[in-house]
Amino acid sequence: MNILHIDSAITGDASVSRQLTAQIVARLKAANPAASVTYRDLNDGVPGIDTNWFKAVRLAPQEPTAEQQKLIATSDAYLKEVQDADVLVIGLPIYNFTLTAALKNWLDQIARAGISFRYTEAGPEGLLKGKRAIFAYTAGGTPFGSDLDFASGYLRFMLGFLGITDVEFVAADGLAFDREAGLARAHEALEKLAA
């Protein structure tokens, strides 16, 4: 088993999502001691896509410039980590009712037509099939699955679009109101996760 462990919280060691992703990975490793783990901290910076990225990655010139080669290599590295993974464990702290900008940038980097998805006569087809994703959803005041939660539904859809349909959430929400209750709900969900 290959595990891709992704964090994106800006709060460092105080981050509940970072604590939860570490616990999820530890649970998976305990059940699968030979599992390998690749760690990616998106808080270190994920370039946003722009016109230069489009010209380098999407248009794929025959002779890319040195700068274009760098953009291609960065996007390829993010995508290869996902392609190589059996399980993705992703920290999902909610900022302003949605996912972090770094996590959105990462999704933009890996959503590559012809590589992670393709268009067919029957509609789009995800090419990252056979993978499992577990999100550690944490929020101070945005209830998981509520009308205010603009992250979980989007991520379930987006990963499904890429072919990852086995998507689970371990949610610690309402932390600003009753931290202990929110953490207890998350740990209960964690205990129910199949390792």
Structural domains of the chain, count: 1
Helices 66-84 & 101-110 angle (0-180, nearest 10): 90
Which residues sit in the known binding site?
15-17, 138-141
Residue 117 maps to which CATH number?
A: 3.40.50.360
Torsion angles phi and psi, residue 134, rounded to 5: -125, 120
What is the secondary structure of 13-34 as a DSSP string? GG-HHHHHHHHHHHHHHHH-TT
- Provide the mean pLDDT of the chain: 96
Whole-number percent of the chain with pLDDT over 70 = 100
How many Å separate Cα 20 from the centre of its chain? 14
What is the secondary structure of 62-82 as a DSSP string? SS--HHHHHHHHHHHHHHHHH
Tokens standing for 62? Answer: 């025959």
The confidence band for 194, taking pLDDT boundaries of 50, 70 and 90, is confident
For residue 168, the model assigns a pLDDT of 97
What is the secondary structure of 98-148 as a DSSP string? B--HHHHHHHHHH--BTTTEEEETTEEEES--S-EEEEEEE-SS--TTSTT
The confidence band for 195, taking pLDDT boundaries of 50, 70 and 90, is confident
Map residue 89 onto helix, strand or coil.
Answer: strand
- Domain span at 93: 2-192
| The pairing of beta strand 123-126 with beta strand 117-120 | antiparallel
Q: Residue 93: how many CB atoms within 10 A of its CB?
A: 24
Q: What is the pLDDT of residues 87-123, one digit of tens each?
A: 999 999 999 999 999 999 999 999 999 999 999 999 9
Which residues sit in the known binding site for FMN?
15-17, 138-141
Q: What is the pLDDT of residues 3-16, one digit of tens each?
A: 999 999 999 989 99
Contact 137, 106 (CB under 8 A): no
37: buried, middle or exposed (CB in 10 Å: 19+, 13-18, 0-12)?
Answer: middle
For residue 193, the model assigns a pLDDT of 86
For residue 58, the model assigns a pLDDT of 92
Map residue 41 onto helix, strand or coil.
Answer: strand
The confidence band for 83, taking pLDDT boundaries of 50, 70 and 90, is very high
- Predicted TM-score of the model (pTM): 0.95
Q: What is the pLDDT of residues 124-183, one digit of tens each?
A: 999 999 999 999 999 999 999 999 999 999 999 999 999 999 999 999 999 999 999 999
For residue 146, the model assigns a pLDDT of 96
Residue 136 to residue 158: CA distance in whole angstroms:
16
